[in-house]
Structure 1
Amino acid sequence: MPAQTAGRIALLTTGLIATGCLGYAVYFDYMRRHSADFRRSIKKQHDAIAAAAEEKNKTERERNARALLAVLDDIQTEAPPISPEQQEVYFQEQVAQGEQLAVMGPEHHVEAASRFYRALRVYPAPIELIQIYKKVVPPPVFNMVIELTMISEARSAAGGDFAMPPQAAPSIEDLDDSSPPSSSSPKADSATSGTSWEKLDAA
């Protein structure tokens, strides 16, 4: 019967594949145990793969660093909203866009970080917001936000012009501290704390 023939062929094929895999595993184990040249060859292959991966990571880090500098240059030419109402709307828009971009893959991480950073610029208590970001933003994107903040802080110390309020610029120690913000952290006053901002503080 055709169906029976097809079943036997499939079973035979599966058996041949399994036998081949088992045979290769036995051969590989034997050579690994008894051949120094084989072990050296395997080590060279592993080293080559590791070196290629490291080179790829290095290239990606350098590309991201250049992209972050370009993004920060663009951000610093933008005039942030002034009124509390405008700031709150702007904040919500930037966070929403950042969340959408963050889940779209690594190629969108720089742009996602730029959105979260823009939101950070106008938030009344940026150090507290960084602690919230640390909990909810994907680590690669969060690290880029921190890098943008630190570059901006370094430019400020060197006399550059950027928009983060001086009292709000987090220090390196603040960024590394995983503990909850202390009572001395900047707080949003009642004039700038809308319902949505208060909900975020409670996150």
Structure 2
Amino acid sequence: MSLNQTIRTAGLVTAIAALVGYAIYFDYKRRNDVDFRKKLRRQQKKVTKSAIAEQGTSNPEITQAELLQKVRAIKKEKFPTSAEEREQYFTTHVNQAEQLHLRGEELPSALHFYRALCVYPNPTDLLQLYQRVISPPVFKLLIEMWTLGATDTISSDDLGSPETKPKTTASGPSSETSSQEWENLMDSNIRL
């Protein structure tokens, strides 16, 4: 064995011994020193927070109330009425949503996807497409917004867009719908 190989081997053995020694020391401190454990937990929280910030999530935890507030604000916007304006509105918001989605901004992206969904003629088809194209966290936010928007009790006067469904009251459908149902019932009774 040459002198160079002996020096390399001794250096390697020393480095491995130092590494094993530090691992034993670290494990001992971790098990027996309360302050050391607290310090490790704080460092771990910092690392986790910085990892979330690096991923680009703008709002990792948004409450249902905040989401409902954002949905209500969107529903109060004036949606275009003509087919041409709706198409332009749709493409504008889808493009903005895609750009934000690529940057990792989940909530702003989901809000633009939701705006586009509000003016699309067949929302269920669009939701199926969104499910295949966008990331699961953004799609989850979009579904939550869609559900909140469907179950929210904003009156149609506050929406700023024409309703295609007949207005309903707390007691049931409008009088026009009731009279139509009554006439259908009467016609079926006369035929018997």
TM-score by length of 2: 0.55
Calculate the aligned-residue CA RMSD, in Å. 4.3
Cα distance, 1:125–1:37 mapped onto 2, change above 3 Å? same
Cα distance, 1:23–1:138 mapped onto 2, change above 3 Å? same
Q: Unmatched 5+ residue regions in structure 2?
A: 1-10, 53-58, 166-192
Residue 117 of structure 1 corresponds to which residue in structure 2?
114
Counterparts of 2:26 and 2:91 in 1: how far apart (Å)? Answer: 57
CA contact (8 A) 2:101 2:109 kept: yes
Query: Residue by residue, what CA displacement relative to the aligned partner does 1:23-64 show, whole Å, maximum 9, x if unpaired?
Result: 2224456x49xx97579x869966x968xx7xx9xx9424x5
Counterparts of 1:17 and 1:144 in 2: how far apart (Å)? Answer: 51
Q: Which of the pair has more CA radius of gyration?
A: 2
Matched, 1:85 2:84: yes
Cα distance, 1:27–1:151 mapped onto 2, change above 3 Å? same
In the TM superposition, 1:1-203 aligns within 5 A as 19-28=17-26, 31=28, 37=32, 60-62=60-62, 65-105=64-104, 108-156=105-153, 162=159
Cα distance, 1:104–1:27 mapped onto 2, change above 3 Å? same
SS in 2 for 1:25: helix
Counterparts of 2:26 and 2:98 in 1: how far apart (Å)? Answer: 47
TM-score by length of 1: 0.53
SS in 2 for 1:79: coil
Counterparts of 1:24 and 1:164 in 2: how far apart (Å)? Answer: 71
Give 1:74 shift: 2.1
